[in-house]
Amino acid sequence: MSSGTPLSRLTAALEATVLGQPHVIADLVTAFLARGHVLLEGVPGVAKTLTARSMASALGLAFTRVQFTPDLMPSDILGTNVFHPADNAFRLMRGPVFTEVLVADEINRTPPKTQAALLEAMEERQVTIDGVTHPLPPPFFVVATQNPLELEGTYPLPEAQLDRFLMRVRVGYPEAVSEMAMLRGFHQREGKPATVDRVLEATVLEELQLRAARVTCDESILSYVVTLIRQTRAHPRIRLGASPRSAQAVLAAAKARAALKGTDFVTPDDVKDVVPSVLNHRLLLKAEAEVEGVTADEVLKQTLEQVQVPR
């Protein structure tokens, strides 16, 4: 990919702000190109929120950050109709979901009832309040963060909510060189937070998404994706494998990854690149596998090794 393309400028701007997390940035941009949503998972302090905010700023889109807490109500996200005595009528007070980029911070710290308020918004890009449907401004992009479920005070996201995310991206600790650069930057900024400037015009974003959707895909790639999906259902450690919708998610993400690389056709490597983040939250392990410490990531690695790659 040449250095002057819009996607290269976007990636470079994010990598200059979010240090030591190139795979996170690649998945984040891939999900946006595929018109999907992203769940960033990691322990506190690994720049999950910074990554989400930087993405919104670089895209030049209006964004809203919501801190999810145990007392957050659905109406706090969607909005509510408020009666105005002067007009003798109800008016909609729009909630923070009416934005272009929604940063849902620590989404698993709020109860399932409030988590469910985002289901319609994320799937259909609209919300229904008191029986009236309101469209959300495109492109509606949700970047949620969550801490590992082992930490206290969290509520596991139900399968229906997890399925709304195209990707669940693991955010780990950076390498020593990147961590040193972070500390050096923090010192040079005199403690001020890192920022990223807008690098893309709004008119370019839809064109980039359309280009990703139109990436060529050979019949052998389609067969490869279907075989991978069906193999997860046959794995002895899996209680519930990937669904047909998961196959569509893998294909959409692979096409977006190809577009990010600057190619106009999908390769098996594009599929391999996106499978872990697209499927790691869509598989349910058997109880004995969980007791033994087996993870979905390990199952997916085995699956990728077992399925023959098309030429």
Residues 294, 251: one domain?
yes
Residues 78, 222: one domain?
no
Show Cβ contacts of residue 296 under 8 Å, excluding neighbours closer than 6 positions: 279, 280, 281, 283, 285
Asked if residues 112 and 155 have their Cβ atoms less than 8 Å apart, the reply is yes
Q: Is residue 220 part of a domain?
A: yes
- Residue 36 pLDDT > 50: yes
Q: What are 198-237's pLDDT values in tens digits?
A: 998 878 999 999 999 999 999 999 999 999 999 999 999 9
Q: Is residue 206 part of a domain?
A: no
Residue 173's region, left for phi above 0, alpha for psi from -120 to 50, else beta, is beta
Q: What are 138-168's pLDDT values in tens digits?
A: 999 999 998 876 666 778 888 888 899 999 9
pLDDT above 90 covers what percent of the chain? 70
Residue 282 sits in a domain whose CATH number is 1.10.8.80
Structural domain span for residue 228:
215-306
In whole angstroms, what is the distance from residue 279 CA to residue 176 CA? 29
Q: Is residue 71 part of a domain?
A: yes
In whole angstroms, what is the distance from residue 190 CA to residue 167 CA? 35
- pTM of the entire predicted model: 0.91
Residues 152, 94: one domain?
yes
Give me the pLDDT at residue 150, please: 62
Residue 178 sits in a domain whose CATH number is 3.40.50.300
